[in-house]
Amino acid sequence: MPYETILYDASDGILTLTLNRPDRLNAFTNTMAQELIDAFDRADADDAIRVVIVTGAGRGFCAGADLAAGGATFDHAALGGGKDIDDPSIRDTGGTVTLRIFRSLKPVIAAVNGPAVGIGVTMQLAMDIRMASEDARFGFVFARRGIVPEAASAWFLPRIVGLPLALEWCFTGRVFPASEALAGGLVRSVHAAGDLLPAARALAREIADNTAPVSVALTRQMLWRMASAGDPMDAHRIDSRAIFARGSSADAAEGVTSFLEKRVARYPNRVSTDMPRFFPWWEEKRYE
């Protein structure tokens, strides 16, 4: 299906989602949010897609929320038709996107090609690996706009860079270069502009060509969800069931046999049909 604000390009196991409002530095809108959610739904349902790359068109990744509404941009009460703060239908739009990415069954790589501020950086926090070009700039600018961090970033950011640095970046609201993002652990690597997407695709290719899709889908959810577990026993309970289920799978037999035969593995199991019976092991929290 065609989209208005993103490009959807699936090829040879890799889906590239490109935020596509280059005249506005790919500023975020409600339409973009809904299209991203739909794109991740499609990706999860398509066994041919092994890895998702998210990048931006033109010279920016995402300049944050579109400020076309001026001073009322963040006045959700006014824009939402006067709803009360206790109305359960009031939700942060950016958070609906990051929570959908969080639930992804495919690994997600951010290829940050330019400025990424506000939701432009917080949407990346639910992605698994962030790579940046030398032109990238990052900013948790919320306090400088009179608002607060959104998109569930108060949960994600400290887990990625640690609480002290998360607080500093959010308190100051400053825009900082890719080198600072690298030093702080926000991004994995920094590349020349022309090398960014090839590097992201090479990493995606390594995943797609060498790993079992069901194992990767399970691993992604195990690591993310155990990041906030209260005790290692919680992880032991899940990985015991996962290794039991996977150990008797056709994928495990193929993985061992291909290794012994010194050939490339051809994993038969599919995410759409072969996730283990205990998955998901959590009860999805409701927004209320």
Rg of the chain over all Cα atoms, to the nearest angstrom: 20
Residue 59 has phi, psi (to 5 degrees) of -95, 5
The reported pLDDT for the residue numbered 107 is 98
The reported pLDDT for the residue numbered 6 is 98
How far is the C-alpha of 116 from the C-alpha of 130, rounded, in Å? 12
* pLDDT at residue 72 tops 50: no
How far is the C-alpha of 43 from the C-alpha of 28, rounded, in Å? 21
* CATH number for the domain that contains residue 217: 1.10.12.10
Domain end point (choices 207, 232, 254): 207
* Lookup result for tokens 């409701």: 286
Q: Provide mean pLDDT across the span 54-74.
A: 79
Predicted confidence band of residue 206 (pLDDT cuts 50, 70, 90): very high
The total number of structural domains in the chain stands at: 2
Q: Are residues 167 and 187 in the same domain?
A: yes
Q: Are residues 195 and 108 in the same domain?
A: yes
Q: Are residues 171 and 239 in the same domain?
A: no
Query: Does residue 283 sit within a domain?
Result: no
Predicted confidence band of residue 86 (pLDDT cuts 50, 70, 90): confident
CB within 8 Å of 118: residues ≥ 6 apart: 28, 62, 63, 64, 65, 139, 140, 141, 142, 145
* pLDDT at residue 79 tops 60: no
* Overall size of the chain counted in residues: 288
Residue 275 has phi, psi (to 5 degrees) of -65, 145
* Cα atoms found within 13 Å of the Cα of residue 144, Cβ hemisphere only: 12
| Overall pTM surpassing 0.85 (yes/no) | yes
The reported pLDDT for the residue numbered 88 is 72
Q: Are residues 219 and 188 in the same domain?
A: no
The reported pLDDT for the residue numbered 69 is 52
Q: Provide mean pLDDT across the span 3-17.
A: 98
* pLDDT at residue 73 tops 60: no
Q: Are residues 104 and 160 in the same domain?
A: yes
Domain end point (choices 161, 185, 207): 207
Residue 239, domain extent: 212-274
* pLDDT at residue 172 tops 60: yes
Q: Are residues 201 and 263 in the same domain?
A: no
Query: Does residue 288 sit within a domain?
Result: no
Q: Is 196 exposed, middle or buried (0-12, 13-18, 19+ CB in 10 A)?
A: buried
Query: Does residue 285 sit within a domain?
Result: no
The reported pLDDT for the residue numbered 80 is 56
Q: Provide mean pLDDT across the span 219-226.
A: 97
How far is the C-alpha of 235 from the C-alpha of 221, rounded, in Å? 11
How far is the C-alpha of 146 from the C-alpha of 131, rounded, in Å? 29
The reported pLDDT for the residue numbered 87 is 75
Closest to 128 (Cα-Cα) out of 145, 150, 111, 113: 111
CB 60 within 8 A of CB 118: no
Q: Are residues 113 and 249 in the same domain?
A: no
CB within 8 Å of 227: residues ≥ 6 apart: 159
Q: Are residues 201 and 103 in the same domain?
A: yes
Domain end point (choices 167, 192, 207): 207
Residue 173 has phi, psi (to 5 degrees) of 65, 15
How far is the C-alpha of 33 from the C-alpha of 120, rounded, in Å? 12
Token representation of residue 240: 């015991």
* pLDDT at residue 76 tops 70: no
Token representation of residue 99: 């929570």
pLDDT digits (tens, 9 = 90+) for 223-251: 999 999 999 999 999 999 999 999 999 99
pLDDT digits (tens, 9 = 90+) for 110-164: 999 999 999 999 999 999 999 999 999 999 999 999 999 999 999 999 999 999 9
How far is the C-alpha of 193 from the C-alpha of 221, rounded, in Å? 31
How far is the C-alpha of 35 from the C-alpha of 8, rounded, in Å? 10
Asked, as a colleague might, if the bond just before 276 is cis with ω within 30 of 0, I would say no
* pLDDT at residue 257 tops 50: yes
Predicted confidence band of residue 67 (pLDDT cuts 50, 70, 90): low
pLDDT digits (tens, 9 = 90+) for 34-48: 999 999 999 999 999
Predicted confidence band of residue 85 (pLDDT cuts 50, 70, 90): confident
Query: Does residue 286 sit within a domain?
Result: no
Average pLDDT, the chain: 94
